[in-house]
Structure 1
Amino acid sequence: MPTNPTTLNGSFGTLIEDVRPADLRDAEFRAEALRLWRDHGGLLALRGAALAGLSPEDLLDWAGVFGAIEVRRAQARDHMMVAGLPVLRIGNTRDGAGRMIAQQSDVPALKSDADMRYDTETRRPVWHTDMGSAVPSIGSVMQCRVTPPTGGETLFADTRTAFAKLEPDVREKLMGLEAVCSQAHHDKKISLYTPGYPVLSPAERAANPPYRHPVVLTHPETGAPALYALNSSTAALVPKGAAVTQAQLDLWELEGVEDESVSFYRNLLPFVTGPDFTVKWQWQEGDIVTWDNRCTLHAATGFDSARHQREMWRVTLNAREGAAQAAA
């Protein structure tokens, strides 16, 4: 069993190298990986050449160490799933007929590490928390299957440490807010800069009503508060319990317009995504990275998609039955 894990940025993130498929089935290795994930801010990376041949079933089995596997999916993305399983392809790969079979968002490549920090004018990189429903995912497990020679890194930010470093009055204001989130808003917003990105039909919109999440979440297992509830589904920030109108929802969901209130959170991101709190993960084929949405943000970066292919397999994690999210 591999030993001597390496931390990635201070106490944030852990890397275990020389991992083999058999290690993923070892009870002792599983227990140690789960401990490292919890103790190091919800970011765990595994690396090993032999992992490149892992089957989707083996990836799902490994993902179950960290949470329950989410099986909910939109019909428009069925062809993007691996072998009909709850494993989503991310990237630019196509089938033999030339149809895109992976979910791709067109985002800029990094020119330097300085580009990792959020830019409030360009709103890039697209730092976010994966949510997607009223019962949000607790995290994701992603494996690299095909990677370009350059670019395509994934960025991670430690939102528990960043929150603790904010000024007390800012922390207090954030704790009084909740985010109004919507899958319809998310899909419409992404489609505005990624032509062809699927949007919800009227029936799907009705079946996926808006939901709310706290802007500050107390981790139910570690007890640490962290920034939360920011992604492309975040349409507005409101005081906890405040009402919104149907006209506001129609603007946010049908036009992809983000309410100005979200800028309060976005204006904090240059600090939150600074070098003290971030990790840049340069993928190698076979790498498996697990992150905890309850205490991290992440962002994709671009690559030369006209010349190279990229395919990632992603499994979404839900809380196990009986577990609960905790608002600060």
Structure 2
Amino acid sequence: MKIHDQKLRELALAVIQVENRAVAALADQINDDFVAACKLMFNCTGRVVVTGMGKSGHIAGKIAATLASTGTPAFFVHPGEASHGDLGMITRQDVVLALSNSGETGEVLTILPIIKRLGVPLIAMTGNPASTMAKFATVHIHVGVEQEACPLGLAPTSSTTAALVMGDALAVSLLEARGFTRDDFALSHPGGSLGKRLLLMVSDIMHAGSKVPSVPETALISEALLEMTEKKLGMTAVVDADNRVVGIFTDGDLRRMLGRNLDIHRTAITEVMTPHCTVIKADMLAAEAMRIMEQKKINALIVVDEGRCAIGALNMHDLIHAGIV
């Protein structure tokens, strides 16, 4: 069977149009039932237990993950496994969110009496307000669609998209209601790039102690070069007798001095260093150090304390290695 490029494009556009209409129709379902569902989850002292079978189960898992990462403790329970012991994961302090397009999924219906006996509120998200699940629920959210994007009308497509979008609407509404912030998000995503940007401090990645390149302001250029070579950060701090930073000497300063025909064994480092250099504090976010480097077009920074004494150093490679870039 030959397939044409244009036909593929037409089929894909048809799917997008059908699902777009299904999502747009959800606006009518942001009603008192939606608000009631949000309040049940907001006031839940336990966790939101999300369940569903088949494709609805996959969507339920995603909704549970989204809720959990945006401030609403949640997890997914497979309804089939729930009948064989996993119901013990549900407590009286929880709220159950059950998904089923038909509202008649057998595996879900089987566990509803137990949920009722526990006195656990049930939020049902179905495409059929007259279904058993809808009638059983404390709150019902209607996510029915006019048609599936599948031309056979069989594969869950528009219906699962609608359920997923409604789940996102619940999660984001709760996020705002809880005052959930970027910092809160980072705490639950410490391994991600956002978490690193919002949590990682300069003190976490800076070189400290004997690893800090530093020479006294009385040092010669040759001594500064030896310190830079040993510490391998592409720079060295220049400090006074009290360890206060008076300047920095970098690879860039070295390149700029080459045309001056200076005797590195006789010339003081103060003649070629960059005085009044930019410094940072250890309690600063590493992402802020990155911003400063980009703004100033520099590749290294000295870390100082309140008295401007050198206590650390870091360069662009440290930030890249830490995953800030």
Q: Select the structure that is richer in helix.
A: 2
Higher RCO, 1 vs 2 (CA within 8 Å, ≥6 residues apart): 1
- Normalised by the length of structure 1, the TM-score is 0.21
Structure ranking higher in strand proportion:
1
